[in-house]
Amino acid sequence: MKRLLIVESPAKIKTIQKFLGPDFKIMATMGHIKDLPTKEMGVTRDPIALSYVAIDKKEKTIADLCRAAAGVDEVYLAPDPDREGEIIAWHVYEEVKKLVKNPKNIFRIAFNEITKSAVIKAIENPGSIDLKKVAAQQARRVLDRWVGYEVSPILWKKITKGLSAGRVQSVALKIICEREDAIRGFKPEEYWSITGLFKNEEGQIPAPLTNIGKEKAEITSQEQAEKILKDLEKVTYSIAEINDKTRIRNPLPPFMTSTLQQAAYNRLGFSVKRTMQLAQNLYEGITLGDETPVALITYMRTDSLRIADSALVTVRDYISKKFGAKYLPASANIYEKKSTANTQDAHEAIRPIDVSITPEQVKAFAEPAQAKVYELIWHRFVASQMTPANFAQRQVVIKGGKYLFKAIGSTLLFDGFLAAYNDEDDDSDATKDEKVKVPEGFKKDADLNLKKIDPKQHFTQPPPRYSEASLVKELEKEGIGRPSTYATIMNTICAREYTTVDKKRFVPTELGMLVTKVLNENFSHIMNIKFTANMEEDLDKIAAGELDRDKLLNEFWENFEKDLIAFKGTSGRSTQPTDIVCPECKEKKLLIRFGKAGEFIGCEGFPECAFTSNFIRDEATGAITLVEKEKPQTLDINCPDCKKPLREMMGRFGKFVSCSGYPDCKYIQQNKAGFQCPNDKGDVMERKWRGGTFWGCKNYPTCKYALFGDIQETPCPQCQAPALLKKLDPKTNGVALECADKKCGYKS
């Protein structure tokens, strides 16, 4: 019997082929094969219907899959076990069902790990495509298409071209912008801390002042601090209380997608995108000493903390042998995630497939970054099934008159899970407790001498900007999007120039702030965080068969259409107001506007007042400073047309040289190529546009010959074109040459 098994990634083929042998042919879709069209909506409203087309360059993949399916007895669809994988399986089914001998022999299978037992079990228990999951994916796709394709063109008209809106992307940007507003509006407040160093013959201990009488010590000025310091010199000190207790620290659960992203960022400095790619490598398999890849971890896109019983048995046996009986709890640790809008339990948590494959073994064969991610996953999983760590905690209360000082010391009694995994670095934004050493001989009522007093002035700090890790944490907490989409969201808001990244923190640009303001004012529904989170919950209900796809979409459209019509009806371009009075007309306020060359500041009295200026904004306060325009620099070169001096000026696309006699003389200096246009023999000149540099025929628009990018005036060795394009080779970071004629296809 001939069988065909279709997966998403070609990286899985060799591993699975080893499990199944020659009876199976394994092929890959290499991701999605069909999607909505790129140049039109692709969704009809009444009734709701989606028009799918083959993705660019996937026609051959589809043809190859169909050809292979026509010659087999059974087809097994095995894309990844999530909604995106389900829609891929459905698209493949729709293509091959017309060609297979019996469409009933097309099966949907899924496995959470790429092991022989998991793959064979899936084949022995085949199912069918889950149309509820397909409907949930389609609903998400339609919602995103409506928001993107309907709102984005209006943003082009209201602000500037090239902008985009996204149902989840825009809410993530809103979170970043709201944090920036909080930072700009933050007013620092002064406060003081006072720490005493106390000593007797048993030892010494630092302790901060915590209470004055029954009130908490809140010191807000230097005068108040100095008054307290004088009082502290007059009193005697003794140990009022010593409180001992045992503190237990439980292990953290194994990773799910979002927590892996956060820990890899905080511990390893890996971006969310890189972490997911490395985890994908580990899931699909890497070679460990032979030619066949070995899958190392379970599926990495999961919201679940569940662990398979077989894995619990294996890891408990490993802990017992490796660490000893006292590190093994009486029964397995079970973790449950609090139910949120986007909790799914379709998969296990992220764990090593075989805990006996240690990080040290993987390190010998894997790339360093892959080995680090595996080590993180392995240690966290093993630690999650170990006993708690125990600490002896001692609090010493020191009294001097009405003043109370408190110090807390902590001593590790039993390391427990910490023998496998120290979790303190998993959250870089968390505040770590300061630990002090309490002398063993300290007794209640013992006298102490104040050896030193240390007053310090502080100022409250604004909330920090979001890093990738803290933004992931916030998105997950609010139920926004899916962890598997976070990398795409972050890449998009940076690519659209809505944010920049400074010191690994997201900083919204003026454009990002304005887009958020405009969308907030006109689309309160889709910009509402709770509404977006509830939408995720509704998509889950569709996947569970509890909600009809079209009912959700029609209800969304009713509100969305009203906002859309109102937004389209507003007139004028959107701007960002400032409190600065125009220095030219002295009457109107200045506005931040956006043009083809980016943001600038201009008078709201335009066109009566045409004042414009560049500007900079202070990151800490948000204050705007006008930047004087760069004045033209006269050159010691005369214009070849009118003989007046040339001058260097700043234009929309950078500096250029032109005649000082403008507008009478319109000469602009251009670089000329050493070859003529192959179409009409005209001169080929260098020109600039927002996208960079290009070389074009001087006789444009009659002749439209153009080369986009940097060129090397070397004829193509294949087709003899007069120049080659310079391209960056991503493998070597060097320069590669290629022919501009795609039909020729020459590459160096």
Catalytic site positions: 299
Kindly give the residue spans of alpha helices, DSSP state H, lying in 334-467. Answer: 359-363, 368-384
Question: Which residue, 10, 19, 12, 6, is CA-closest to 285?
Answer: 12
Cα-Cα-Cα-Cα dihedral of 482, 485, 491, 494, to 10°? -30
Question: What's the per-residue H, E or C state across 618-670?
Answer: CCCCCCEEEECCCCCEEEEEECCCCCCEEEEEEECCEEEEEECCCCCCCCECC
The beta strands (E) that lie in 401-465 are given as 403-414, 447-459
Question: Which residue, 650, 672, 648, is CA-closest to 658?
Answer: 648
**d(C-alpha 244, C-alpha 242), whole Å:** 7
Tokens (6 digits) for 740: 């501009």
Question: Which residue has tokens 């032109």?
Answer: 658
**d(C-alpha 76, C-alpha 16), whole Å:** 13
What residues contact 38, with CB distance under 8 A and at least 6 apart? none
**d(C-alpha 613, C-alpha 686), whole Å:** 28
Do the strands 724-729 and 598-603 form a parallel or antiparallel pair, or are they unpaired? unpaired
Residues facing residue 455 across a β-bridge? 194
Do the strands 645-651 and 633-638 form a parallel or antiparallel pair, or are they unpaired? antiparallel
Kindly give the residue spans of alpha helices, DSSP state H, lying in 414-509. Answer: 468-478, 486-495
| Identity of the amino acid at 602 | G
DSSP state of 127: B
**d(C-alpha 548, C-alpha 545), whole Å:** 7
Residues facing residue 598 across a β-bridge? 595
**d(C-alpha 94, C-alpha 115), whole Å:** 28
Question: Which residue, 609, 182, 248, is CA-closest to 410?
Answer: 248
Query: Measuring CA to CA, how many Å separate 462 from each of 179, 183, 186, 633?
Result: 9, 5, 6, 43
Tokens (6 digits) for 431: 């505040």
Do the strands 215-216 and 203-212 form a parallel or antiparallel pair, or are they unpaired? antiparallel
**d(C-alpha 466, C-alpha 558), whole Å:** 34
**d(C-alpha 397, C-alpha 210), whole Å:** 10
**d(C-alpha 484, C-alpha 506), whole Å:** 19
**d(C-alpha 449, C-alpha 199), whole Å:** 5
